[in-house]
Amino acid sequence: MAINGTVPSSGRLATVYSDVQISRLNHPLPLPAVLKSSFKIVDGPPSSAAGSPEEIAKLFPCLFGQPSASLVPNGADPTELGESLKIGVVLSGGQAPGGHNVISGIFDYLQDRAKGSTLYGFRGGPAGIMKCKYVELTPEFIYPYRNQGGFDMICSGRDKIETPEQFKQAEETVLKLNLDGLVVIGGDDSNTNACLLAEYFRSKNIKTRVIGCPKTIDGDLKCKEVPTSFGFDTACKIYSEMIGNVMTDARSTGKYYHFVRLMGRAASHITLECALQTHPNITIIGEEVSAKKQTLKNVTDYITDIICKRAELGYNYGVILIPEGLIDFIPEVQTLISELNEILAHDVVDQDGQWKKKLTHQSLILFEFLPQAIQEQLLLERDPHGNVQVAKIETEKMLISMVETELEKRKLERKYAGNFKGQSHFFGYEGRCGLPTNFDSTYCYALGYGAGVLLQYGKTGLISSVGNLAAPVEEWSVGGTALTSLMDVERRHGKFKPVIKKAMVELDGAPFQEFASRRDEWAIKNRYISPGPIQFIGDGSNDISHTLRLELSVHA
């Protein structure tokens, strides 16, 4: 029986750590070989944009066309030191396991290669930059967060630097702190913002360079050079542990259908990865629903058909995965919600339902098809702007209720003779702040270390890029990719806005294809896998995600 240890820290003051947390604190992180050697930076060819290059060129006159950068060993003395730097770092948006290791990576780079440097952590996200709220990061401050989950070292925030005044505030901060560089750890929006800052500083001849780092458990910030966003690996493994446990429970009890909603609104990568890890009976992928223009009734029927088939085989249990953002992918639901927002903004919802006459025919049919609890939720739960709060709809409960209704109908028609009991689950917050896996720990450390290199070599407007991830860590590649090369534009309020397009599940991509080729078997036969709890030592502890493995094996 080990005793919980007290770890001294300015941030996690006198925090008590579990045995596992302590063992992770002292877990040594391997670096890619190129970062351990002496290296030089090699620039690639000029870059373009993911779409609308003319517009992107206009929006980023200083940065557009920048080459990507790769680190290559140069055979020189690796103890050679660069000049000391002043760097700021900020966490932006929702938590993802590994964020602390990006910061450790930057810090250790500065300690190893740019002695005398200073690292500032901006507190509470981009607002910390604008308000110049920061803390100077020291070895003692950083130590208790090494390989630990969460973003609490400096915390995060969802603010954006958007208005001219806010850019001015950011400028004042970087001038006041005399920053050579700024690392923005965030998702697609935050990296777009990082690039706008880089452009702004460059255009004003401010020396501060800006480097982004790809963060999001949702896995929807990726491209060829950035094979995955950090946090995805850990979050999916935590959810898959839980799903595997629920599967064993389902098989043991034999009487429940578990409907598991998984975090990830914009894209269904998490749901797909968890399916590949655990082999559920039914998995709904939002991108497929959208591509096939399916209705809620289609989805319900798909689930119900499989439940009926399983009942004939004697299985009155199963596990069903549903992406959090499912209803965002169903066009008819979007139409209904926008009609409701319109109606509710102007009319009173009368008891005898006169208001319903304002719905279009198709929306009325859909509304009547919805379970009563969801109807009420649509009418009652509103955000401060009066809009329906889609995120609050418990899709898994809605589907249970709709499947129940459909099964009762089929029972009357003598097409179904099984027993159906639904159990709902939502796995979300449990996964955002877990202890990062070995993969996320090492990947984040390399992302941070690499960001330090890019700043020292005067790069700006790049996203830290660590590749060749299916190989041993030694062989990982390190570099930076022009953020403008990931961008397209969207027209908002009559203006072009640059955006890094979210990477959606590609229906012709290897992960979806693998899933699609096996799901019929999983539906009928029970091929459940229980991944078990994340291990930090021993078998399976260094596995990468199925998504990454499959995508890399195609690229290779």
Chosen residue from 80, 413, 429, 492 binding its own copies by CB under 8 A: 429
- Closest CB to its own copies among residues 277, 395: 277
DSSP string, 254-296: ---EEEEEES-SS--HHHHHHHHHH--SEE--HHHHHHTT--H
Q: Is 256 annotated as a binding residue?
A: yes
21 sits near its own copies (criterion: CB under 8 A):
yes
Considering the complex, state which of residue 305 and residue 404 has its C-beta at the smaller distance from its own copies.
Answer: 404
Q: Considering the complex, what minimum distance in angstroms separates the CB of residue 3 from its own copies?
A: 10
Helix (H, G, I), strand (E, B) or coil at 457: coil
Given 36, 131, 251, 411, the residue binding its own copies (CB under 8 A):
251
B/e letters for 6-20, b = 16+ CB within 10 Å, e = fewer, are ebebebbeeeebeee
d(CA 283, CA 522): 10
Which of 9, 15, 48, 298: binder of its own copies (CB under 8 A)?
15
b/e per residue 153-168 (b: at least 16 CB within 10 A): bbbbbebbbeeeebbe
The answer to whether the CB of 469 falls within 8 A of the CB of 255 is: no
Whole-angstrom distance, CA of residue 208 vs CA of residue 88: 10
What mask of x and - would describe binding to its own copies in positions 379 to 418, judged by CB under 8 A?
Answer: ----------------------------------------
Residue 218 annotated as catalytic: yes
Q: Which stretch binds its own copies (CB under 8 A): 75-83, 245-253, 336-344, 494-502?
A: 245-253
Let me know: does 210 contact 185? Beta carbons within 8 Å: no
Count of residues that bind its own copies according to CB under 8 A: 65
Specify burial of residue 81 (Cβ count, 10 A radius: 0-12, 13-18, 19+): exposed
Residue nearer to its own copies on the CB measure, 433 or 455: 433
Among 212, 231, 244, 461, binds its own copies (CB under 8 A): 244
264 in a labelled binding site: yes
266 and 499 Cβ atoms separated by less than 8 Å: no
* Residues with Cβ within 8 Å of residue 353, at least 6 apart in sequence: none
**Given 67, 135, 207, 249, the residue binding its own copies (CB under 8 A):** 249
Binding mask 255-284 for its own copies (x = CB under 8 A): -x-x------------------x-x-----
Nearer to its own copies, 28 or 538 (CB): 538
Exactly one of 146, 202, 432, 459 binds its own copies (CB under 8 A); that residue is 432
Taking each helix axis from N to C end, the angle separating 510-524 and 546-555, rounded to the nearest 10 degrees, works out to 130
Catalytic option among 108, 159, 180, 218: 218
Which of 50, 57, 132, 155: binder of its own copies (CB under 8 A)?
Answer: 155
Shortest distance, CB of residue 216 to its own copies, whole angstroms?
A: 15
Which lies closer to its own copies via its Cβ, residue 319 or residue 370? 319
The count of C-alpha atoms lying within 13 angstroms of the C-alpha of 456, restricted to the half-sphere facing its C-beta, is: 27
In the complex, least distance from residue 241 CB atom to its own copies, rounded to whole angstroms: 7
Q: Give the residue from 237, 289, 230, 234 showing the smallest Cα distance to 512.
A: 289
Backbone angles phi, psi at 118, to 5 degrees: -125, 135
Q: In this structure, what are the phi and psi dihedrals at residue 299, rounded to the nearest 5 degrees? A: -65, -45
216 is in an annotated binding site: yes
Residue 22 or 62 having the CB closest to its own copies: 22
Q: Indicate whether 149 belongs to the interface with its own copies (CB under 8 A).
A: yes
Task: Compute the least distance from the CB of residue 111 to its own copies, in Å.
Answer: 25
For β-strands 69-73 and 39-43, DSSP reports them as antiparallel
How many CA atoms are closer than 13 Å to the CA of 102, on its beta-carbon side? 35
Closer residue to its own copies, CB minimum distance, 206 or 544? 544
Q: What tokens does 280 get? A: 């559920």
Cα 516 → chain centroid: 23
Question: Binding of its own copies at residue 75 (CB under 8 A)?
Answer: no
End-to-end CA distance of the chain: 47
Query: So which residues are the catalytic ones?
Result: 218
Binding site as annotated, residues for Mg(2+): 188
Task: Tell me which residues touch its own copies (CB under 8 A).
Answer: 1-2, 4, 15-24, 95, 148-152, 155-156, 238, 241-242, 244-246, 248-249, 251-254, 256, 258, 277, 279, 423, 425, 429-435, 470, 527-540, 542-544, 549
Binding site as annotated, residues for diphosphate: 94
Instruction: Show binding-site residues.
Output: 94, 188, 216-218, 255-256, 263-265, 324, 429-432
